[in-house]
Each structure stands twice: as C-alpha cells, then as structure tokens.
A = this chain, B = another copy of it.
Amino acid sequence: MAMKSFVEVSAESHFPLQNLPYGVFKPESGSLPRPGVAIGEFVLDLSEISSAGLFSGPILNGSDCFNQPTLNKFLEMGRPAWKEARATIQKLLSESEPTLRDNTNLKQKALIPMSKVEMLVPMTIGDYTDFFSSMHHAKNCGIMFRGPENAINLNWYYLPIAYHGRASSVVISGTDIVRPRGQGPPSGNSPPYFGPSRKLDFELEMAAVVGPGNELGKPIDVNNAADHIFGLVLLNDWSARDIQGWEYVPLGPFLGKSFGTTISPWIVTLDALGPFACDAPKQDPPPMPYLTEKTSNNYDIQLEVQLKPAGQDPCVVTKSNFRHLYWTVTQQLAHHTINGCNLRPGDLLGTGTISGPEPDSLGCLLEQTWNGQKPLSLNGTSRTFLEDGDEVIFTGVCKGNGYNVGFGTCSGKILPSPQ
C-alpha cells in the first residue's frame, strides 16, 4: 500500500498516513462531537466517511460506531474492527485512491483544518488507573523519602505497583489547571498548613486506552493483553507534592492527584506503533508465570517536556523515552485483571512517571530539583516547583525513515487557586 496521502503532510508532521490516530472533535462550537482521524494539518471526520458508506468492510459496514460522541463503541469492537478501519482509512487517504481524493464535495465536508476544531476527551473513562513502572522514577523517589538502602520496596520487583486514579478530573490537552488547595505537612511542632499547594508538579507519563476488556472474575492472559489495548496517549499526572506527602500514608495518593490529569487528544494505535517496538528491559527476578510474555515489548517513543513561564519562551526541561519502562503495558493490563477485576472499553491505564537514567531525563520536578533543593535554571529564571501562569507542554514522537509517528502535544497552564 502506498504510504503517501493526497493530503499534504510535511516531513515534520506527527500525522502522516503511517499514523492515523483517533480522536473526538467538534468541527465548530455547538456542533455534535464525533470521531476523527488526524492526517497532516487536517482532521478526517469519520461520521461523514461512515455516512457516505465508505466503511464497506464486513465488520464496519452498517455499524454506527462512528456516529457516536465518543470512541467507546469502536473500542469495544476489538482488534478486527480496528484493523479493518485502519486499512479502509489508509486506502481512502492514499494518493493513488480516487474515491475521496476526487470527490470535492465529500472532501470539503470530511477534511477539516485541525486549527478550526475543538478536541475533546475521546472516550468515556469508566476507571483510570495509574501505574508506577519506571525503575528510575521509583528509585529516585525512594532515595528521597526513605534513603538509599530502602530506595525500592521489594514488592516493586515482583508486580507492577499501581493505584486507582480519579476518572472525573481527566481533561483534554489545553485545559487550564487550577492550583489545588489542601493540607500540607506540619514542620516541627506546628500543625499542618492549609492553602494553595506550594509544591505543584507535572509527571511525564503515557497511558493505554483499553479496548474490549473482560468480565468480572475472568482475568486476561498476558499474551492476549495487546488485543485489549487500542493505543496510547500522552498523560500529565499533575501532582501536589505537599498535599500528597501529608495524606498518602497508609492508603496512597488522593487529593494530591485528583484535581486534574491531562491527556493528549490523539490516540496513536498499537498498529501504528508496531514498527517502533523494541525489547523491554530484562526483568530480575524473572516475572511470575502470569506476567511472563512470549515477547516483551516497549516502544521507542521520544518524549520531551517543555516548561513555559508566563510571557517567556518555552524551555526544554526533560528528554525521556517510553522504552525506559520496566513493566510493559501488557504486563500492567494482565496484572490489573489477575484478581478478576473487570476492565471496560475506554478505561485508562497510566504508566507512571517515565524517567530515564540521565539527569536530563527525569520526568518530574520532584526528581529534577530533588524535592526543591536544587532549583532548575530556565533562560534566566528558575523553578523548584510550578508557579501560576506556567504552561507545561509534553510531546512524544517515533522517528521513522523519513516520517514521524507522533502524539502531538499534551499541555496545560496553571491558574491561581480560588481565594
């Protein structure tokens, strides 16, 4: 199949014909949300393509999965439907295929400039889970809070540690984040303080979007887990370190996280990521049988964080890579269901902060500034934690031979706490 589209796609674009990530958008304010696929600087409106009868394969023919305000119905249909949709869209958009290319009227309706649309959270998220799967991140946090002898707790090596997150406050890239108020830890003999968080941070993560899922009581085998993952997004797990530090013993993070979690709008499918698969790290001790995969893959996704203080230029503060994850997303998913817990279409599984081994690859300010002790220098100003007006911008991209498969950006700006 030709890998060039009749839609112009620049060499730097994240969205060539090889990618075709899915999102949900409104063409204009007031119109109904509908699924779309990114191609170059355009969004292909799948509800129009579907209404035109162009999804003619055996699974999607006659389905209303693209005449929905979310992707959940399509997610539930599973990999055969995803493969059929990808093949159909890739063919329709290819330069040698006249069906859409030469239909001026349909092209006008179905290809909308990305700059004009409003992107939405693309699925109803029944549950959001956040893992803790980067060894570098776990080790740095451990050294900071428990010292180098006990940096990583023994359980971490045996299972992908995770906690239940808050689904209601997952927002789409571009949504402002209000600085949370809450209690912070006492210092010395003083009582705990209350007020706007003094240690507001980002966390560089990615997240898997769940496909069909499983019934309660019926675990998913780790070697079938990839069939339950539709794709990945960028995720910023905004964290108030003072609130989190005071509240988290013994039941884990709660208000230190639940004020907002930002995801990027385009879900890049596992099919598009396939060419960028790479070996996952060797695990020692070897994983238990229920976590042992025939092939254990990560993906070579280059990640970057920029911090943009109000009125200033953005400054790159982190360069990391998805391949640094110790536990794979398929292991995470299998572990999540081993107790019988049911996953539903649209569930979100965050990876946890993805830190690498180098000082410039740390995925949050907590690690970069060593809990505020070593301020970060930014073009003449400095930061320990985030200040009001700061914007944080994540990007993620796989570098192919002459093309990119990218995630676009995941951004958010800090607004002051309410008075």
A residues in contact (CB < 8 Å) with B: 126-127, 129, 132, 153-155, 158-159, 161-169, 171, 178, 180-183, 186, 191-192, 194, 216-219, 240, 243, 246-256, 258-260, 285, 288-290, 335-336, 338-344, 347, 415, 418
Contacts and interface: CB of A to CB of B under 8 A. Distances in A.
A360 to B, nearest CB: 26
26 contacts: A153-B249, A155-B183, A155-B247, A161-B250, A161-B251, A161-B254, A162-B254, A163-B251, A164-B166, A166-B341, A169-B340, A178-B340, A180-B338, A180-B340, A181-B219, A181-B338, A182-B339, A216-B259, A217-B415, A251-B252, A251-B253, A252-B252, A255-B335, A255-B336, A259-B340, A340-B418
Given A255-B338, A339-B243, A340-B178, A183 B158 contact: yes
A125 to B, nearest CB: 9
A324 B157 CA distance: 40
A34 to B, nearest CB: 22
A127 B338 contact: no
Closest 6 pairs between A and B when the two form their complex, measured CB to CB: A252-B252, A180-B339, A164-B164, A178-B217, A163-B251, A258-B341
Nearest to A132: B251
Nearest to A339: B180
A337 B215 CA distance: 32
A163 B418 contact: no
Contact of A252 (B159, B250, B285): B250
Contacts of A217: 178, 259, 415, 418
B253 A252 contact: yes
Contacts of A255: 335-336, 338-339, 341
A178 B186 CA distance: 43
